[in-house]
Amino acid sequence: MTMASGIFTVLCTLVLPLGVSLYLCCCKKRLLKPVLLGAATFFVFQMLIRIPLIQLVLPNMQWYLKLEVSQPLFHALFLGVTAALAEELGRYFVMTMLLKKNRRIEDGIAFGVGHGGIEAILLVGINTLFTVILSPASIAPGLMFACGIERLAAMAIHVGWSVMVMKSIREKKIRWLFLALFTHTIIDCGVSYASNQGLSIWIIEGFVLLCAAIGILFVIKQYKTKENV
């Protein structure tokens, strides 16, 4: 069970995102650009900007320490808002400036695959692979399975947000960008606060899976409206 949970999470967070990304890049060459730009968007706006600020800069500030220690709800809200601003505005900026000829629903899906895929690989996949190889005895099977499921759901949600932002740009309707910002904030805030309060990880994963299902239904509906032209 221990190894099975590790292998499952490696498949979810490393093999699957790499496989889907390579398939889109090689078999549907028109989607190479949105896949790569989706990955670059996460790397730049999260890994190079937001995460260093959250982990290295803000902990040195008294107001942030107070927020983190004594105001868990507002701290979770802060994390949710900053994640939404970094990723959704990052998506909007990159799509607007660099994907002027790639604005179909397919392009939004590919962008989300790149964005959510690189997040899964960098934040979970690589570390999990090393854990499975070097320290399998340290794996907690239940937690590891939950981690794999959470990353699968997160990738689906990122595809939904990417399609939403692409729709905002293509139709020139800012409300879709605001909806992406709002739902991103709510989901991240809810997960962060629930985790901080010790809520069962499976209840949290159930919530994330529900959000993923809604995101997938949204993408399917958009695809079937024949806007993908």
pTM for this entry? 0.95
158 has a pLDDT exceeding 70: yes
Q: Does a structural domain hold residue 229? A: no
Round the average pLDDT of the chain to a whole number and report it. Answer: 94
229 has a pLDDT exceeding 50: no
99 has a pLDDT exceeding 80: yes
Q: Does a structural domain hold residue 154? A: yes
Structure confidence at residue 44 (pLDDT):
98
Q: Does a structural domain hold residue 93? A: yes
Structure confidence at residue 28 (pLDDT):
85
Q: Does a structural domain hold residue 134? A: yes
Q: pLDDT-based confidence at 27, cuts 50/70/90?
A: confident
- Tally of domains in the chain: 1
Q: Residue 53: which of 83, 93, 91 has the closest Cα?
A: 83
Domain range for 61: 2-224
Q: Does a structural domain hold residue 187? A: yes
Whole-number Å distance between alpha carbons of 64 and 80: 14
CA atoms within 13 A on the CB side of 195: 15
Structure confidence at residue 42 (pLDDT):
98
Structure confidence at residue 226 (pLDDT):
60
